[in-house]
C-alpha cells in the first residue's frame, strides 16, 4: 500500500472512522414514538382549525397570531417570496392587507400533517378561501397550502408557508 494518499492505511482508517461517526449519528437520531407522533398530529391539527376559525372570524390580522415572530419566518405565494420575516409580514398585514381585504373565510380540506420531531411538523392541505375586498365584493379561491410548523415551547407557529392558488372559482 501507498504511504500517502488514497491508498494509504492512514487514509482508509480515517475514512472508516468518519463513516462510523456518520452512521452512529444517524442511528442515534431520535425517532418519534407512536404517542409523540399522535400528540404532534393532534396539536398541529388543532393549530390548523384555530387558524381557519380565527382568520374567518377576525380577518387577516389574525395571521399575526400564527406566524412565528422571527426573522426566519417567510411566506411564498405561487412560487414568489411574498413576506420575508415577521416584521415585514406584520407591516404588510397592518398597513395594507386589512385595508384591501378586511374579510377572509378559510376552509381546509384533506389536511396532511407529517411530524418531523416533537417541535417540527410539515403541513399540507387543500384550501378554499372567500376573500371580501374593501368594496364588499367576494372572490373565491381554491389551492394548496404547505407550511412548516414549529413548537416554540408554548405554542405551535408557522415558520414558513406557501400558497399555490388555482384560478378564481366562478
Q: What is the pLDDT of residue 25?
A: 45
CA 38 to chain centre: 18
- pTM summary value: 0.80
Q: What is the pLDDT of residue 26?
A: 45
Q: What is the pLDDT of residue 132?
A: 97
What would the 3-class secondary structure string for 25-75 be?
Answer: HHHHCCCCCHHHHHHHHHHHHHHHHHHHHHHHHHCHHHHHHHECCCCCCEE
The phi, psi pair for 119, rounded to 5°, reads -115, -5
Q: How many CA atoms lie within 13 Å of 142's alpha carbon, on the beta-carbon side?
A: 6
Cell of 93: 398585514
Q: What is the pLDDT of residue 3?
A: 52
Q: By C-alpha distance, which of 88, 49, 41, 98 is closest to 67? A: 88
Task: Give the residues across from 142 on adjacent strands.
Answer: 128
Cell numbers 406557501 correspond to 162
Is beta strand 156-165 parallel, antiparallel or unpaired with respect to 74-77?
parallel
Q: By C-alpha distance, which of 23, 36, 28 is closest to 116? A: 36
Give tens-digit pLDDT for 2-41: 455 555 565 555 554 555 544 444 444 468 999 999 999 9
Contact 134, 158 (CB under 8 A): no
Q: Which residues of the chain have pLDDT under 70?
A: 1-30, 167-170
Q: What is the pLDDT of residue 17?
A: 56
Amino acid at each position: 500500500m501507498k504511504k500517502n494518499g488514497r491508498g494509504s492505511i492512514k487514509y482508509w482508517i480515517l475514512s472508516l472512522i468518519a463513516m462510523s461517526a456518520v452512521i452512529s449519528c444517524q442511528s442515534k437520531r431520535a425517532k418519534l414514538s407512536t404517542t409523540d407522533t399522535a400528540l404532534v398530529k393532534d396539536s398541529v391539527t388543532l393549530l390548523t382549525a384555530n387558524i381557519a376559525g380565527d382568520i374567518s372570524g377576525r380577518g387577516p390580522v389574525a395571521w399575526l397570531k400564527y406566524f412565528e415572530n422571527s426573522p426566519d419566518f417567510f411566506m411564498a405565494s405561487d412560487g414568489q417570496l411574498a413576506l420575508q420575516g415577521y416584521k415585514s409580514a406584520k407591516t404588510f398585514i397592518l398597513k395594507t392587507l386589512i385595508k384591501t381585504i378586511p374579510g377572509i373565510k378559510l376552509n381546509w380540506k384533506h389536511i396532511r400533517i407529517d411530524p418531523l420531531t416533537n417541535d417540527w411538523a410539515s403541513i399540507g392541505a387543500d384550501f378554499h378561501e372567500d376573500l371580501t375586498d374593501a368594496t364588499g365584493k367576494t372572490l373565491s379561491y381554491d389551492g394548496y397550502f404547505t407550511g412548516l410548523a414549529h413548537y416554540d415551547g408554548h405554542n405551535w407557529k408557522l415558520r414558513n408557508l406557501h400558497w399555490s392558488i388555482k384560478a378564481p372559482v366562478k
